Amino acid sequence: MHVKVLLFAALAERANRHEALVPLPEPATVQTLLAEVGRLHPELADLLPRCFISVNQEYANAETPIGPGDEIAILPPVSGGEDGRFRITDQPLSADAVIRLVSNPRAGAVLTFVGTVREFTHGQRTVSLTYEAYVPMAIQKMKQIADEIKQRWPQAEVAMHHRIGDLAIEDIAVIIAVATPHRSESFEAGRYAIERLKQIVPIWKKEIWEDGSEWKGHQQGPWNPLSRPED
């Protein structure tokens, strides 16, 4: 059988493509797939052991079976949608628009987190950023975060918008709005939302510096989409 594999960020850049058609024996597993991808695309071999794999938009392990027609994505370890509350777009973001999505008569507080492109990180000057996302899975994981928040703060309403493409210094990259009856809950739920987004949502950024570039994740530690919510 042949399966289509989606590539992102540094993987796509190295392979000079965002999709690869990979022949596999039957039955096949994720481990079989990675071995074949490494054989067909040796330029990816050193990255593959550190990547995460999704099968049909769910994170998978080495023994997960793969069948004809499955949607496979290889997600490098670096740090749209029908529901308007959860959106990936290449257009500029609006805080007012996101706030309107969560405002309601029960809410006494609406916390808005706005992440912007900064010029200096650890003393290194950034010229611009490029964001890339596995859009359908990113939206699904945003919804998962909202469900986790509902379990902890049942009356919370959440919306998340993230921009992709090329962003300049001071451009808005992400907006999260959380509406709750009381302000303490909005602060707690808002912080939870951005921390979990950094952990499990497949969005990558490429930092363009004056003297080079690098695909990166967030600055808070290893990107780990398999991590469980903290109690």
User: What does 42-87 look like in DSSP terms, one character per residue?
Assistant: GGGTTTGGG-EEEETTEEE-TT-EE-TT--EEEE------SSTTEE
In this structure, the dihedral spanned by the alpha carbons of residues 133, 34, 14 and 163, taken in order and rounded to 10 degrees, is 0
What pLDDT is recorded for position 208?
74
Looking at the predicted structure, is the pLDDT value of residue 230 above 80? no
What's the pLDDT band for 40 if we cut at 50, 70, 90?
very high
Average pLDDT over residues 19-34: 92
User: 64-98: per-residue pLDDT in tens?
Assistant: 999 988 999 998 865 433 468 999 998 899 999 89
On whether the pTM is more than 0.75, the answer is no
Q: What's the pLDDT at 115?
A: 95
137 three-state secondary structure: helix
- Compute the average pLDDT of residues 132-153: 94
Question: CA-CA distance, 147 to 159, in Å (whole number)?
Answer: 11
Residue with tokens 């975060």: 145
pLDDT band at 211 (very low <50, low <70, confident <90, very high): low
Higher per-residue pLDDT: 125 or 38:
38
Residue 217 pLDDT grade (very low, low, confident, very high; cuts 50, 70, 90): low
DSSP-assigned letter for residue 182: S
pLDDT computed for residue 128 by the predictor = 81
Give the model's pLDDT for residue 46: 75
Gap between the Cα atoms of 107 and 157, Å rounded: 9
pLDDT at 26 over 70: yes
Cα-Cα-Cα-Cα dihedral sign, residues 50, 54, 60, 64? negative
